[in-house]
Amino acid sequence: MTTKYTPQELAKHLATGLLSFPATAFTADYDFDEAAYRKHIEWQSSYDVAGLFAAGGTGEGFSLSVDEFPQVVRAAVESSRDEVPVLASAGGSTKQAIANAQAATEAGAEGLLVLPPYLTEVDQEGLFNHLDAIASSTDIALIVYNRANAIYTPEILQRLADKHPHFIGFKDAIGNIEHLARVRAALGDRLFYLGGLPTAETYALPLLKMGMSTYSSAMFNFVPEFALKFYDAVRAENEPEVSRMVRDFVIPYLDIRDRKHGYGVSIVKGGLNVVGRSVGPVRPPLQDLSEQDLADLDALVKTVQVSA
């Protein structure tokens, strides 16, 4: 599939709808299960979703080998409905992130989410050099992920935006309101703003006021109707409905997610299991939901399926 959007067109498109990170399918032996993954992408892209990010955090991109990464991205690109663009991720060292960027470009991805550099503390000039090198290696759209050891100042974001027209977006996983206000004041409509806090639905309505018109929904993987209904309520600023859905589903979901470290990904694959669309286990060092946790999630999902 050839690129359908310019970076600027892609930014406008992504800003108007819900986004998600598809889980990557693995066999019982932890090999990439391409057939199951393609089936999952076909199902996910059949809904009115604005974009899918392959090989991201929920997609266990951190566990993919050098050879598997382009296989996953290409399978997503080829299996997604034409109207739903596929983006990929670029992480690790600068050299590895450049390799990801080039592989994703060759595989047909329309954009990249640039993850923080791997396990190293850097200053702002180092972050600029990291992003500058990645941006210089490809012409597809770039979104930066503001989290962990990669907290970008407005000044660095402005330098990147001035130098690289295909730098289009800012995804935030920190939730520092003052920092968001400063970024928005400096960059304005030059970027689009994407919510990326864990289980983004929890924060979606208040962050809408900060200019974040969209967010990445992990639960879209297994309850897409609910996720889209929730997003519509957020965009309509229907506070009573959002509050009801948070109370009845999101908070109980968080309670299960928080029982063990790493369950943020595991609960997504658990959800796919309970709706009859399994994509296999999570790879170590993550661990699958326990039988009790899976049973609790099953009961919770049934309440959504009935009410939705």
The active-site residue out of 171, 193, 253, 269 is 171
Of 179, 177, 113, the residue nearest 140 (C-alpha): 113
Active site residue 260: no
CA distance linking residue 139 with residue 117, whole number of Å: 20
The active-site residue out of 37, 145, 193, 215 is 145
* Helical segments of the chain, H only: 7-14, 34-45, 68-79, 94-107, 124-136, 154-163, 177-187, 204-208, 224-235, 239-245, 251-257, 263-274, 291-307
Active site residue 12: no
The phi-psi region of residue 118 (left if phi > 0; otherwise alpha if psi is between -120 and 50; otherwise beta) is beta
CA distance linking residue 37 with residue 29, whole number of Å: 15
CA distance linking residue 278 with residue 272, whole number of Å: 5
SS3 content of the chain, % helix, strand, coil (to 5): 50, 15, 35
Q: Which residues are catalytic?
A: 145, 171
